[in-house]
Structure formats: C-alpha cells, structure tokens
C-alpha cells in the first residue's frame, strides 16, 4: 500500500511541509525565502568559493538534508535505484540554464510560491512565465521528446552525491574553512542542526509524495491530474495563513524583500525554469530528491545548477533586488543587467534546440 495513494494524503503532506517551512522562516532564514533551492545552491557555491559575491555565501544544510532525506527514506522503503546514462551532459546544461533563469527572477519555483503566499505580486507575474515554460515543455513531451533511457548501475554510484554532500557539511562545520556572509541573505539562516533535521524530513516527504512544482502543472496539462498540485496548494495555504497571522503579508509589487518588478524578465526567467524543468524531468527541488534516490543523471543536473550559479554570479547574469530611495541614495529598480537579459534569451533558444533535437521519430505504420 502506497503512503500517498489519495489526493487528500498528498495535500496533508503539503500541509506538513508548509509547517516545516514556516518553522525555518521563524528560525532565521531570510524573509520571504524560508527555502529557495536555487538560492541555497548559489549560497553553497559561494561558500565553496566558486563565486565571490560576499552577501550570498553560506553552506546551506538544507541542500544536504533534501538529498540525504530522500536517500535515507528510499533505502528504508526499498525504492532506492541507482541509475545513470540518460544524456548526462545535456542534463548538466539544463541544470545550468535552470539556475540562470531562477537567479534572474531571484528564486526557484518553491520560492515563487512562498513569495506569492506573502503577497508579492511580482511572483504572480512570474507564475505566468513558469506555467508557460512548463506548457512549452509539455508540448514537446507530446511530440515525443526524450533524453533517452537511464540504465541501472552499481548501487554505490547513486550514493556518491548524498555521501559527498554529507562529508562537505561535516568538513565545513569541523574546520570553518568555507566562506560565510556577514551581511545579506547568506548571513541569515536557521540554526544548523534545526535546518538539517527539517530538510531531512522535507526530503523524505518530497520523495514519497513525488513533490514537483513543474510536474504539478505538467500533469494537469497532459493528464488532467491534480494530485501533485494539491501538495503545492496546501503548502501555499499554510504559508499564506502564517504570513497574514504574523503581519508579513503585503499585497504589492514594491517593497518586497529580495525581489524586483522588471516584469518581462520575471516572466522570461521563470519561463526558462519551467521549460528546462520539464525537459530535465523535474524542478530544482525534484532534481535533488531524484539524486537522493539514486539518479546519477539528476546528480549531474545538480552539478550543472551549482556551477551555473557560480557562472551567473561571476559574469553578472543575476537579477538584483529593487531598493527604495533613502536620504542619501536614489531608488534602484533592480532586475537583470544587460548580460543577464542576453543570457535569458540565449537560454530560451538553447532550450528549443535541445527540445527539437531530442524528438523521437515515430515509426511509420505498416
């Protein structure tokens, strides 16, 4: 018997995940960003000194927890399956592209939903792009898009990433060798042990429920199936109630933490994320969960996201947060600079090329 064999059970898992996200929000994680997979991977890249943006450097234990939580629960339930070989370099590229799109918007699909729950209208605008990207990817799935079959490998292969991330966390805690922000988003975090435990539970729940932000919309488009969407809706409901109760709900475009109102680039940035997520087989969170349950292809996608984050910061591709005017400084509209805008357009073209060149040819009927 499956643990989440009913829609209401999936919704309940979304409620539990929402409560855990709320706990991280209350315990020190950045405002309006209790969890953001893209931002947390970017922070980890900074901690490992793959980029030098001082405000976003911290080895987030949540990333370790998501992967290891999925790994542990899949081992316990005998769902762990070590696989590899499905276009790994294309998946690496999709991971990097997904990260560039997310950092132009300033958040992954999970943070988009959390921003929506706090009244950030910019995130609602970005949802248009994300849904459009998922719809585009779904059209290519209908036409026969596939990155090929993954093959079973030795069990140790799929365990490399969970073990490596756990080792990196231990090394960081034991030696203090990693870079750590003293101001900005990277300096705001929940206590390490709490963040790790919460992420382990979320990783386990996400693995069992198949939680995926891109998959939830894809399933509605392709199969009229709302099961996965019920998880997201429940998470959104919990966080909306929390934000209203704590006075953190502000329905507006301006004054939102770590956000900008460059609407075209919010839409296009999340269009890239949605499109790439469908082609890769899952959103950034789903990639971590799949990597934890043994997919080396998703582990490669994670590496693409990690290096994509470093590349985006090193070459000024990321969006900047809007800032209100002060007595000494003029208002800053935020959004991506020209290199980031060009990168988004290049990413969109690249996604269409990947999608079009990986269509299976249908055999002619005899």
Model confidence pLDDT, tens digit, residues 186-211: 999 999 999 999 999 999 999 999 99
Contact yes or no for 316/68 (Cβ under 8 A): no
Of the pLDDT bands very low, low, confident and very high (cuts 50, 70, 90), residue 1 is very low
Is pLDDT above 60 for 319?
A: yes
| Torsion, CA 304, CA 306, CA 33, CA 285, rounded to 10 | 40
Q: In a 10 Å sphere around its CB, with 0-12 CB exposed, 13-18 middle and 19+ buried, how is residue 187 labelled?
A: middle
Q: Report helix, strand or coil for 127.
A: helix
User: Is position 115 within any domain?
Assistant: yes
Give the model confidence (pLDDT) of 241-295 as tens digits. 999 999 999 999 998 999 999 999 999 999 999 999 999 999 999 999 999 999 9
User: Is position 28 within any domain?
Assistant: yes
The percentage of residues in the chain with a pLDDT greater than 90, rounded to a whole number, is: 91
Q: How far apart are CA 116 and CA 108, in angstroms?
A: 12
User: Is position 366 within any domain?
Assistant: no
User: Is position 364 within any domain?
Assistant: no
Rounded average pLDDT over 223-236:
96
User: Is position 190 within any domain?
Assistant: yes
* CA torsion through residues 44, 243, 318, 264, sign: positive
Of the pLDDT bands very low, low, confident and very high (cuts 50, 70, 90), residue 364 is very low
Q: In a 10 Å sphere around its CB, with 0-12 CB exposed, 13-18 middle and 19+ buried, how is residue 251 labelled?
A: exposed
pLDDT at 235: 97
Contact yes or no for 138/221 (Cβ under 8 A): yes
User: Is position 59 within any domain?
Assistant: yes
Is pLDDT above 90 for 131?
A: yes
Contact yes or no for 273/188 (Cβ under 8 A): no
User: Is position 244 within any domain?
Assistant: yes
User: Is position 41 within any domain?
Assistant: yes
Return the H-helix or E-strand segment holding 337: none
Q: How far apart are CA 179 and CA 323, in angstroms?
A: 26
Of the pLDDT bands very low, low, confident and very high (cuts 50, 70, 90), residue 366 is very low
User: Between 6 and 229, where is the model more confident?
Assistant: 229
pLDDT at 112: 97
Buried b / exposed e along 82-95 (16+ C-beta atoms within 10 A): bbbebbbebbbbbb
CA atoms lying within 13 Å on the CB side of residue 74: 26
State how far the alpha carbon of 227 is from the alpha carbons of 4, 14, 142, 152, 351, in Å: 10, 11, 20, 28, 27
Is pLDDT above 90 for 53?
A: yes
Give the model confidence (pLDDT) of 330-352 as tens digits. 778 899 999 999 999 999 999 99
pLDDT at 31: 77
- Domain extent, residue 99, equals 7-356
Q: How many folded domains does the chain comprise?
A: 1
Reported pTM? 0.95
The percentage of residues in the chain with a pLDDT greater than 70, rounded to a whole number, is: 98
């Amino acid at each position: 018997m499956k643990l989440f064999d009913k829609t209401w059970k999936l919704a309940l898992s979304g409620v539990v995940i929402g409560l855990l996200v709320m706990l991280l929000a209350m315990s020190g994680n950045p405002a309006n960003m209790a969890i953001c997979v893209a931002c947390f991977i970017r922070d980890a890249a900074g901690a490992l000194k793959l980029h030098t943006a001082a405000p976003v450097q911290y080895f987030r234990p949540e990333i370790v927890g998501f992967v290891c939580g999925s790994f542990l629960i899949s081992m316990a339930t005998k769902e762990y399956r070590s696989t590899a070989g499905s276009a790994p370099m294309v998946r690496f590229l999709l991971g990097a592209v997904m990260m560039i799109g997310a950092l132009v918007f300033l958040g992954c699909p999970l943070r988009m939903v959390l921003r929506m729950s706090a009244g950030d209208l910019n995130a609602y605008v970005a949802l248009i792009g994300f849904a459009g990207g998922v719809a585009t990817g779904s059209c290519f799935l209908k036409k026969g898009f596939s990155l090929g079959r993954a093959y079973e490998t030795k069990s140790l292969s799929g365990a490399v990433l969970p073990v490596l991330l756990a080792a990196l966390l231990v090394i960081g805690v034991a030696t203090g060798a990693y870079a750590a922000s003293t101001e900005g988003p990277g300096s705001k975090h929940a206590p390490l042990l709490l963040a790790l435990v919460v992420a382990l539970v979320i990783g386990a729940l996400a693995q069992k429920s198949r939680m995926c932000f891109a998959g939830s919309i894809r399933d509605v488009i392709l199969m009229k199936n709302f099961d996965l969407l019920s998880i997201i809706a429940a998470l959104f409901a919990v966080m909306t109630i929390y934000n209203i109760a704590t006075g953190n709900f502000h329905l507006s475009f301006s004054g939102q933490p770590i956000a900008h109102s460059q609407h075209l680039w919010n839409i296009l940035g999340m269009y890239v994320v949605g499109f790439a997520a469908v082609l890769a087989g899952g959103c950034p969170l789903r990639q971590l969960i799949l990597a934890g349950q043994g997919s080396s292809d998703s582990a490669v996608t994670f590496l693409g996201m990690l290096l994509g984050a470093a590349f985006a910061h090193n070459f000024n591709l990321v969006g900047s947060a809007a800032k209100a005017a002060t007595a000494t400084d003029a208002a800053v509209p935020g959004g991506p600079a020209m290199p980031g805008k060009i990168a988004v357009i290049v990413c969109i073209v690249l996604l269409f090329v990947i999608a079009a060149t990986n269509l299976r040819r249908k055999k002619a009927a005899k």
